[in-house]
């Protein structure tokens, strides 16, 4: 910021010139990043959303089978977290035996462009090329 001296030599006050402020490219991200980190920062969250986008509603066993290496406990915790974030909907489809199906909410489906962009970014900027 630049300042000019007042024309009155006896006063040494500064008067700001016309300020040119460049607006930020994005809104202050701290809260947004916290939300994004909570939703997408966990290892299995984006993978779960991806499979529900690709394969549609799935039962717990089908999801577990799709996610190589996830434990039942971790999958259950991840699904509960995604449910709390209103990204995944849990529906009981039968009582005997109890069968649960998971699907994406509209909020969860809205992640599709972001996931597609991240996958595109990964394929365009192969880690081996940067080494």
- The DSSP code sequence of 72-110 is HHHHHHHHHHHHHTTSEEEEEEETTTTEEEEEE-HHHHT
pLDDT at 29 exceeding the cut of 80: no
pLDDT at 53 exceeding the cut of 60: yes
Q: How far is CA 116 from CA 7, 13, 70, 124, in A?
A: 59, 55, 22, 12
Q: Are 105 and 87 in contact (CB under 8 A)?
A: yes
Q: Are 112 and 53 in contact (CB under 8 A)?
A: yes
pLDDT at 19: 62
Average pLDDT, the chain: 83
- Domains, the chain, in order of start with CATH, read 29-124 (1.10.10.10)
pLDDT at 90 exceeding the cut of 80: yes
The predicted model gives 9-33 an average pLDDT of: 62
Helix, strand, or coil (residue 54): helix
pTM confidence score: 0.72
32 Cβ contact list (under 8 Å, min separation 6): none
pLDDT at 82 exceeding the cut of 90: yes
When pLDDT is cut at 50, 70 and 90, the band that residue 41 belongs to is confident
Q: Which of 95, 84, 20, 93 is nearest to 57 (CA)?
A: 93
The predicted model gives 103-114 an average pLDDT of: 96
């Amino acid at each position: 910021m630049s300042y000019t001296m007042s024309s009155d030599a006896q006063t040494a006050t500064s008067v700001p010139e016309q300020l040119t402020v460049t607006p930020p490219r994005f809104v202050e991200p701290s809260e947004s990043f916290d939300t994004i980190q909570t939703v997408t920062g966990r290892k299995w969250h984006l993978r779960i959303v991806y499979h529900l986008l690709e394969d549609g509603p799935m039962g717990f066993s089908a999801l577990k089978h799709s996610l190589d290496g996830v434990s039942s406990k971790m999958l259950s915790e991840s699904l509960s977290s995604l449910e709390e974030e209103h990204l995944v909907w849990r529906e009981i489809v039968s009582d005997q035996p109890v069968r649960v199906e998971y699907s994406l909410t509209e909020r969860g489906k809205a992640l599709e462009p972001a996931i597609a962009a991240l996958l595109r970014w990964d394929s365009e900027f192969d880690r081996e090329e940067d080494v």
